[in-house]
Structure 1
Amino acid sequence: MNGPRILTRFRKEIITGLEEALAGGGPLAATLRYHVGLEDETGRRTENLGKLLRPSLVLFTASELGADPGAALPAAVGLELVHNFSLIHDDIQDGDRMRRGRPTVWALHGMAQGINAGDLMEAIAVRTALSAGPAAADALLSATIEMIDGQVLDLSYEGREIGVDDYLGMIDRKTGALIRAGFVLGGIAARADDPTLAKLTALGAAIGRAFQIRDDILGIWGDESVTGKPRGSDIRRKKRSLPVVLGISHAAGPDREALREIYRKDDLTGSDVAAVIGLLERLGVRVEAEGMVDAELSRARETMEMIPFSEIGKKDLSELIDYLARRSK
C-alpha cells in the first residue's frame, strides 16, 4: 500500500495481529475474516483491509513515546476490531449492501447473522485488548460506548434540522472517539503521564473532526471511480452531513424552502440530488467545509508540537495530516 509512512510502517504487524485474533473455525469465523478484508467470499486469502488508520496511530504513538510497539499490538488490533464491528452494524442500519467494492456481511448472510457477526467481533476485540492490560481495555470500552452514543445521535438526527454544534458533537463521538483512542491507547502503552494523555486526546479530537468532515465532502463531491459511491450519495440517503447542515443554516427564503421540500420526500431523484448539490455550491458550502478541515488540521499541528514526539515522528505525523487534508477516498 502506498501512502503516509504511519499507514505503512506497522501494516504487516497489524495484519498478522488481525489474523491471529480472528483465527479459528467457529460458524462465523470466516465471515469476520471476510469483513475485515483478510479473505474473499470463498475463503481465499486476500488483502482488502483499508487504511488501518486507528491501529497505526496506536503503534506510532507507543513507539514515539518509548514503548515496544509489540506490547501495544493487542490494543491496536482490539481497536481495529471495534471499528469493524461498528461498520457491520452501520451497514445494517444504513441499508448499505456494498463496502469497499464488495457485498456487506448482512447482504451476504442476512440481518440476523450480520448482528451476530458484529456482536462477536466486539467480543473478540475486548478479549484481544485485555492482553494489553486493564487500562487499555477500559480506554477501549469507554471509546466504544462513546462511539455508539454518536451513532445513536446520527440516527436520531435523520429527518431533523440540526445546527453545526449538534453535528460536531455527534461526529466527536461517532468518528472522533476511536481516533482519539488510537493516540490514547499508544500513550497508555508508553505509560504517558496525564498531561501527555490530555494532549494526545486533543490531537485525536482535531484529526477525528477533520477526517469526518473530509468524509462528508467526499460523500457529496467525491469521484465515484475512486470512492466507489455515486456522486451525491449522502444527499440521496438524506444524511445530515456537514455540507447539508451548513446549507440549511445558510439558505434563506426560496432556497431554504426548496431544500426542506426535497428533504421531505421519501425518495430523492437524480434531479433532486443535482438541485441540492447546485444549491450547496452556490451557497459556498464546499469551500466553507474545506476551510473547517484546514482549521482542525492546523489545530492538530499545533497540538503535535506540545507532545514529546521525535523530529522524525513529527515529520511522519505532518505527512499524515497533509494526506488527510487531500485524501480522495
Structure 2
Amino acid sequence: MPQSHTMRVIEISKPGGPEVLVTAERAVPVPGEGEIVIRVAYAGVNRPDTLQRAGNYAPPPGASDLPGLECSGVVAEIGPGVSRWHIGDKVCALLPGGGYAEYVTTPAAHALPVPEGMDLRAAACLPETYFTVWTNVFDRGRLQAGERFLVHGGSSGIGTTAIQLASARGARVFATAGNAEKCAACEALGAEVAINYREADFVDVLKAEGGANLILDMVGGSYLPRNVNALAGDGRLVQIAFLTGPKVELNFAQLMMRRLTITGSTLRPQSVAAKARIAESLEREVWPLLATGRIAPIIDSEFAMEDAALAHARMETSEHIGKIVMKVSG
C-alpha cells in the first residue's frame, strides 16, 4: 500500500493548449476486481493525450479523466482475482487513462513484465505503440514476410515501432517522413527506402516497386485516395488516426477492381478482453525480440512530471523522432 493516501497528478484544467495542464493532488486509486495499482516511474506521452487535452478525445466511460495511456513502474497493490502479479513486480502497462499520476490502476491482464535487460524509462515507451502496431499491422493488416509495407510518419513513436517490427519479421519496409534527418532515422531502423514527402511522391515510389501490400496511415484526409493509388492488387490500408481530417471523396471502383481492403481501429475503446489478447500476443511474439535487443524503443526526449506542458508542446511541434517520456518518480 502507498504510505500516503494522496498523490501528485497532472490534470487538464480545461480544454486548450499545453498550458492547461496543471499539477494537483488526488486520492490514490484503489484496485477493483482483476486490477492492479502501479506506482508509476515513467509515463509515455502520446498524441491521443494532446487530443484529450484539447477536448477532442474523451475518455471512455469509467476511465480516469487524467491523461496518460501507458506507464512503467512497480506493482503497489493487487485487487481481487489477480494471481499473476505480486507487489514489487516491475511492469509496463497499457492504461485506460490516468498515467500522469504517481499511482494508476489498470486491468492486470494489460500489464506486461519489463523485458529482460530493459530499464523502466524505456519500458514506459512500449505499451501504447506496441499494442497499436501489433493489432493493426499484424492482426488486422496481416503483414507477411517479403511483403512491401509503407508506414506514414515513420519517425513518430508508432512509425519507429512499426519499421522495426516489420523489418524484424521479414517485410520490405518503406516510410515517409518530413526531412532528411527523419528519413535517415527511418533507414537506420530498417526502412529500405525513406521518402521525404516534401520532395517526392510516395505513390510514385511505391508504384515503381509494384505497389504496397500494406499501408499504415495516421494522416487521413488527402492521403486516403493517394494511399489507395499506391496499393498493389489485393493490398490493405489500415487507418489508425486522421491528423488532417476523417472525411474525403473516394472512388470505390478501384477497391472492387483491384480487390483492396480498407480497415482501421482505435485502441482505447476496445474491450478489456480484446486488449488482454493483444498483450498475450505481444509477450509471445515481440517480447523475445525486445529481450535480445533486436528491436528497442527510440526515445526522443524526457521531461519531469511538472513539465508535462513542455512535453505536450514538444509533441505538437512534430519535430520529435521516436517517443517522448515523462519521469514521474525515481
After TM superposition, the score normalised by the length of structure 1 is 0.25
TM (norm. structure 2) is: 0.25
Higher strand share: 2
Judging by fraction of residues, say which structure has more helix: 1
